[in-house]
Amino acid sequence: MKNDELSEIIKAAKQGLGWAQYSLGKTYEYGTGVEQVYEIAVKWYTLAAEQGHADAQYSLGAMYSHGNGVPKNYKTAMKWYLLAADQRNADAQLAVGHAFKLGMGVEKNYQTAANWFTLAAEQGHVDAQWILGIMHQKSFLDGQQNFYEAVKWFSKAVAQDDYRSKVSLLEIYKTGFSVQDNHLSAANWFLKKETIKSAEHGYADAQYDLGSAYLIGEEVPKDNTTAAKWFVLAADQGHADAQYNLGLLYKDWRGVEKNEKAAVRWFTLAAEQKHASAQCNLGLMYHRGLGVLENHQTAAEWLILAVEQGDSLAESWLDVVMVEKWHIKENNQTALKWYTKAAVQGMSIAQVNLGYLYAYGKGISHDYQAAEKWFALAAEQGDLDAQYNLALMYYRGLGVGKNYKAALMWFSIATQRESANAQFNLGIMYENGHGVQTDYVRAYMWYKLANNHHSGLDENYRLYINREITNLSLKMTLAQLKKAEGIFFSFF
């Protein structure tokens, strides 16, 4: 990469442009025209990912998965993979599939893995197509081989000149299963014919499959109206997926007249059958007052049910609902009730706010041990505020034994997200030898980094940091100051 091109990207990244932040992260990850520094790559990936940049979210997940620039953490990797996957990032969908297949950060589940692989494969991801073929060929799903599905996915990958799939097709051929060039089209014709016949005879699954085919235009012309017709027939028989899809059609005005009340009805029927996506959408309808009276408590109840089933979109919206309607300054008893319910399900924003309630006695009695418990759970999920507050509790010995090493660890993790408070406290620890060997150079560097934040710092706090920098510099040699300044500027 040319210097002028790199300069333009750095300028754009510092202006907060997500594409540039992602590009800069990639530059540092691979050392393209700069020294390879994973920590700096993580910094820029994080900034872009927090703006919703799907490629950055995937790359950040990969950094956590491999332990490049951050401690290896499969759960945090999974969080970022899911955010990218929900934006149809095929690489992320593949990564989520691998996580479920191998049980990395989540409970092993081959069917869920196959679902994610399918999403990536349908976008043409050759690795996903190959591994789906393997799963069907090797009896990963329901303990049964499915050569039709295996051949289907291997053939798609072969069309992209995938050698592994060619070898796998040959293996299937040796079993005596037909793999002639016209096999797939013949099989698809047969399956479509049988699906139509079954649908016309009233089989709900076939009606749903036929509706889905018309919805996406698979082997039939795309036709939302015809899709809705078949979904209604299946939905009336209690088919949850058909009910959910009907809800989407009525909500988004596709193939039917827009009818938010009808959308709520169908979402409700599917949600009552524990359909996670329907529960999530029903929660959003209540949150926004679409087709039903606005009711944030009911919205939270449905979103929590979806979160319990691992729906990442519901988790994101539950964050919004809770922050908007149960902020700890507004109604502490309501906050305590809903934060506790959501925190038990693993919601990090609820866990950290519970920590605040208990730590600072916001409308309830102080309970530092409870605060430490909830801060720790949220910190493990990557919540910056929780990481900082947990470090502070260990440093001051609030409700837990004073533990400088634990404080140092959590302050260090929080600095990866550029927490000025964490940076300043690390400076204090290095200056005074708390849990580490006294190191004026590192202390000076962390003080300077904390002071470098252009927003979010109280002016009195900034003056306090400047005073600490001045006092420390008087203890340092010229060589130490020069070294500290050099390390400080290497961050930018």
Query: Out of 67-76, 207-216, 231-240, 402-411, which region has the weakest mean confidence (pLDDT)?
Result: 207-216
**pLDDT on residue 279:** 93
Percentage of the chain exceeding pLDDT 90: 37
Q: Which residues contact 164 (CB under 8 A, 6 or more apart)?
A: 130, 157
**pLDDT on residue 324:** 56
Between these two residues, 84 and 356, which has the higher pLDDT value? 84
**pLDDT on residue 272:** 94
Query: Is 147 a residue whose pLDDT tops 60?
Result: yes
**pLDDT on residue 175:** 59
Average pLDDT of span 444-451: 88
Positive or negative torsion for Cα 173, 179, 184, 187 = negative
**pLDDT on residue 219:** 67
* Rounded distance between C-alpha atoms, residue 297 and residue 52, angstroms: 27
Query: Is 361 a residue whose pLDDT tops 80?
Result: no
* Rounded distance between C-alpha atoms, residue 250 and residue 19, angstroms: 35
**pLDDT on residue 176:** 52
Among 302, 288, 357, 366, which Cα is nearest to 326's? 357
The domain 238-309 is classified under which CATH number: 1.10.1740.10, 3.30.390.30, 3.40.830.10, 1.25.40.10? 1.25.40.10
Query: Is 462 a residue whose pLDDT tops 70?
Result: yes
Q: Assign 113 a pLDDT band (cuts: 50, 70, 90).
A: very high
Query: Out of 323-327, 401-405, 485-489, which region has the weakest mean confidence (pLDDT)?
Result: 323-327
Positive or negative torsion for Cα 423, 426, 427, 428 = positive
Query: Out of 114-118, 186-190, 436-440, 480-484, which region has the weakest mean confidence (pLDDT)?
Result: 186-190
Q: pLDDT digits over 323-340, tens only?
A: 555 443 445 566 677 678
Q: Assign 414 a pLDDT band (cuts: 50, 70, 90).
A: confident
Between these two residues, 307 and 275, which has the higher pLDDT value? 275
**pLDDT on residue 193:** 56
* Rounded distance between C-alpha atoms, residue 73 and residue 285, angstroms: 35
Q: Do domains 238-309 and 326-414 have the same CATH topology?
A: yes
Domain positions in the chain: 181-235, 238-309, 326-414, 418-492
Query: Out of 119-123, 323-327, 390-394, which region has the weakest mean confidence (pLDDT)?
Result: 323-327
**pLDDT on residue 190:** 39
**pLDDT on residue 310:** 80
**pLDDT on residue 335:** 63
Query: Is 179 a residue whose pLDDT tops 50?
Result: no
List Cβ<8 Å contacts ≥24 apart for 476-480. 476/440, 476/441, 476/444, 480/440, 480/441, 480/444
Q: Assign 185 a pLDDT band (cuts: 50, 70, 90).
A: very low
Give the orientation angle of helix 440-451 with respect to helix 478-489, to 10 degrees. 40
Query: Out of 106-120, 213-227, 450-464, which region has the weakest mean confidence (pLDDT)?
Result: 450-464
Among 68, 125, 124, 70, which Cα is nearest to 98's? 125
Tell whether pTM > 0.85: no
The whole-chain average pLDDT of the chain stands at 84
Query: Out of 117-131, 265-279, 289-303, 444-458, which region has the weakest mean confidence (pLDDT)?
Result: 444-458
Q: Report the CATH number of the 326-414 domain.
A: 1.25.40.10
Query: Out of 103-107, 149-153, 358-362, which region has the weakest mean confidence (pLDDT)?
Result: 358-362
Query: Is 183 a residue whose pLDDT tops 70?
Result: no
| DSSP secondary structure code for residue 294 in this structure | -
Dihedral Cα 25, 27, 28, 29, nearest 10 deg = 80
Average pLDDT of span 64-73: 91
Query: Is 455 a residue whose pLDDT tops 60?
Result: no
